[in-house]
Structure 1
Amino acid sequence: MRIVHGEGVKGLYHGLTAGFMRALTYGTSRIALYEEMKESAKKSNQTLSTPILGIMAASSGFIGAIFGTPADIANVRMQNDASFPPQQRRNYRNVLDAWAQMKRTEGWRSFRQGLWPNCFRSGIMTASQLASYDSFKRLIQKVCDTDEEKPLIHFSASLLASLVATSISSPMDVIRTQLMSSSKNTSVLEIIRTLMHTEGPKWVFRGWTPSFVRLGPQTIATLVLLEQHKKIYRTLKS
């Protein structure tokens, strides 16, 4: 309501182009890598236990973040721009304009700002999202005594996975946002020290609700549609 009152409806869509670019680079690569790893393991007759799924998902998320970090930086900066005084705003028009200004004013180093924390965050989040989804799906199928791939099972498993992913990734999201929104060089330990000094331990779950509002529907839509896509693909392939 504050955003709409102060900036109009368009304020809700700051960073839209950067969000699309992030989904195109990070989102697709991590899911594709995870599915390929699972298929390779199945062909090798390897048991896909929860720890193995977690390692696969974490690896794919880590690698995917390498491709998605430049778009992620632009996204964070565009979304946070309105919180700065008018004279300090960057006023990026879109993701390409953001990249051009970043290169011109800060150099190539700005494209990897917060890269490694973002990679670790993405690895942990992907593991808690994709691996927990597969584990929850198998658990629900076992409880329901069925091997069928029903949309209701996909929906329930993805909802539970989104709760796990939001809770685990929330503290790292706070740190990532602080790193990427700043134009200065700073470390993760400095940010944690500052947050503990100014807010205390409660900073760990700062923004959990809006994170779930974003990640919950995204996780459900992504995984349910992915299952339907795989079903159609298997039907066409056979």
Structure 2
Amino acid sequence: MFPFGKIRILTNKAIEANYGKPLPLYQKALCGLTAGAIGASVGSPADLALIRMQADATLPEAQRRHYKNAFHALSRIVSDEGDLALWKGADPTVVRAIALNDGNACLV
């Protein structure tokens, strides 16, 4: 949901910069790329917590992390692995969001 709202904000700013004229395709694409990257970057820690919580049940009992909820998972990741660990695996997520969002933005 976040990227789609961000696209509208970015598109409106670009239209203002174009003096109200419709946006050419490259500007629509740039708005989509930017919104997708921002949305995926912001959402990546929650995605990581979800994936780890789902994978925890498949691990042997001795290796399980026993997360209680998403907030517990996020706090444990930070305390055990450091702040930047929240963005492990973010690169492919950001690239996927950029591609999906850019395609949607160009259709508008």
Q: Percent identity?
A: 27
For 1:80 and 1:133, how far apart are their aligned partners in 2?
36
Aligned counterparts, 1:68-79, within 5 A: 68-79=43-54
- Tell which has more relative contact order, 1 or 2 (C-alpha 8 A, sep 6+): 2
Aligned equivalent of 2:66, options 91, 95, 100: 91
What is the rounded CA distance, in whole Å, between the counterparts of 1:46 and 1:75 in structure 2?
42
**Separation in 2 of the partners of 1:47 and 1:97?**
46
Asked if 1:131 is matched to 2:105, the reply is: yes
Structure 2-normalised TM-score? Answer: 0.78
After TM superposition, the runs of 4+ consecutive aligned structure 1 residues lying more than 3 A away are none
Q: CA deviation at 1:59?
A: 0.8
Structure label with greater radius of gyration: 1
Is the Cα contact below 8 Å between 1:50 and 1:131 reproduced in 2? Answer: no
Superposition TM-score, scaled by structure 1 size: 0.40
Q: Which residue of 1 aligns with 2:9?
A: 36
In 1, are the aligned partners of 2:14 and 2:27 still within 8 Å (CA)? Answer: no
Deviations 1:192-215 (Å, cap 9, x if unpaired)?
xxxxxxxxxxxxxxxxxxxxxxxx
Q: Distance in 2 between matches of 1:39 and 1:109?
A: 33
Q: Distance in 2 between matches of 1:39 and 1:94?
A: 38
CA contact (8 A) 1:69 1:115 kept: yes
The structure richer in helix per residue is 1
Distance 2:15 2:106 in 1: 18
Equivalent residues in 2 for 1:11-26, closer than 5 Å = none
* Structure 2: distance between partners of 1:116 and 1:57: 17
Unaligned runs of 5+ in 2: none
Matched position secondary structure for 2:66: coil
**C-alpha RMSD over aligned residues:** 2.1
Tell me the distance in 2 between the aligned counterparts of 1:82 and 1:33: 35
Deviation at 1:132, TM superposition (A): 5.0
